[in-house]
Amino acid sequence: MKKLILFLCGIFSIAGGVHAQQINNGNFDAPWVDDALQVGMQPAGWSAVVANASAWGSTMKASLVSQETRTESPVNYNAKLINKFAGGSQWGVSYGFVLPGYITLGNSWLYINSSYFTVSTSDAGVQGGIEFSFRPDSLIGYFKYTPAQTNEIADAAHIRIYSWSGTHTSTSEKGDIALTDNMKDIWSGNSNAMLISKGEYFISEKIGEWTRIAIPIEYINDDIPEKMNIYISASSFLTKDEPFTVGENDILRVDDLQFIYNHKLTEITLDGTPIEGFDKETLEYNGLSMKGNAFPEISWKTDGKDAKVSKETEGNTVKLTVTAADGAQTVYILNFTKTDAVENIDNASLKIYANNGILYIKGNTENLPVEIYNMQGQLVSVHSATENFRPDVLTNSLYIIKIGEKVSRILF
């Protein structure tokens, strides 16, 4: 019995310097190189699946990844992945099957039992990856997807990004191929290696124009990875029960892959209370309250896995600088105002309370306006003093009510 085992290797490089790693040749513009079997071409730094199996005059040969020109000026290339039939007919008997088109930063592998050239005796996958020690928040890229109109098999393009530490060795289900860090094993978490992060995306509907897709990366633990891999395929065959269930002539085009390292804040709190109306895209906040020369205790939450925050003060202003692992920064400005509004003054002659969102005032208000502040000392609204009214405030929130020099804290 003859076997053909194809290990399709890419050439990798690691981004250097202080900042976080990006994807080597994620735009596919570097010169393309011969694939492992010299049947076609593959992007530098990537491994493309390719077939070239022969026995007794029968041949399964196919190049499934190719270079396309996306724009002429300036010249910009993209990768085209196609699911293609490989096989033929000999002595009146047809042989072969549809192979999936995919690329990876690791190594593509394909096993074809050339005694039979059948789906049931063949296998394929991805093993390995590149050295990697950062924690990006998402993978973005531009994609076009064209499912074949005549294809009766329900298929979808498939993208995976994952990182891990340690090394796992295994053997393929078909052909007894020795594998190191096989994607199926690492992704399932059932291996000697430890899965640290993963992100996955399927494209099942046609995308006729270049479309930006962001794939969030989920972190399973707080460990630093040692390795990372990206797998991009015109078929989701690896997720199916039946082997090589592949949509023939489905095409996936991909370009401009990039890691995103977030560098925004999702929350800022003052003395444990979130700034009301905070939005991570709003970078400056005014009228925040401070007691005398003492700033409140300021804390925050970031949207980046490895984002760092530095704090600087100057006068009544605090500057929070959020720096992502790749060096990108966002700066938030907090402008404080000295106020006595946070000092609670008990006053027996004036009773103020809230019930069902209505503010009740009992006693002599001296016809002074009723000022309502949030807990950051920001003036929310001003009303004429009446016995009761419904202010526009949030329920289950604490506010400061000020009438002249008379101040109370009220929970609505």
Whichever domain contains 194, its CATH number is 2.60.120
Rounded to the nearest 5 degrees, what angle is found at the Cα of 268, between the Cα atoms of 198 and 345? 150
Does any domain span residue 343? no
Q: Are residues 156 and 231 in the same domain?
A: yes
Q: Are residues 318 and 385 in the same domain?
A: no
Write out the two tokens for 269.
Answer: 């709190």
Please tell me the total count of domains within the chain: 3
Cβ partners under 8 Å of residue 96, min gap 6: 60, 85, 86, 87, 88, 117
Residue 93, pLDDT score: 72
Domain boundary among 260, 286, 301: 260
Q: Are residues 312 and 245 in the same domain?
A: no
Does any domain span residue 270? yes
Domain boundary among 294, 318, 338: 338
Q: Are residues 233 and 325 in the same domain?
A: no
Residue 318, pLDDT score: 97
Residue 339, pLDDT score: 61
Residue 69, pLDDT score: 94
Q: Are residues 16 and 141 in the same domain?
A: yes
Does any domain span residue 386? yes
Q: Are residues 256 and 280 in the same domain?
A: no
Q: Are residues 140 and 225 in the same domain?
A: yes
CA 303 to chain CA centroid, Å, is 11
Q: Are residues 185 and 201 in the same domain?
A: yes
Does any domain span residue 344? no
The list of the chain residues with pLDDT below 70 reads: 1-19, 73, 92, 292, 339-349, 365-366, 386, 395
Q: Are residues 215 and 102 in the same domain?
A: yes
Q: Are residues 85 and 196 in the same domain?
A: yes
Residue ranges making up the domain that contains 366: 350-411
Tell me how far CA of residue 381 lies from CA of 312, 322, 390, 397, in angstroms: 31, 32, 11, 15
Residue 377, pLDDT score: 76
Q: Are residues 62 and 207 in the same domain?
A: yes
Q: Are the C-beta atoms of 288 and 336 separated by less than 8 Å?
A: yes
CA 354 to chain CA centroid, Å, is 45
Residue 112, pLDDT score: 86
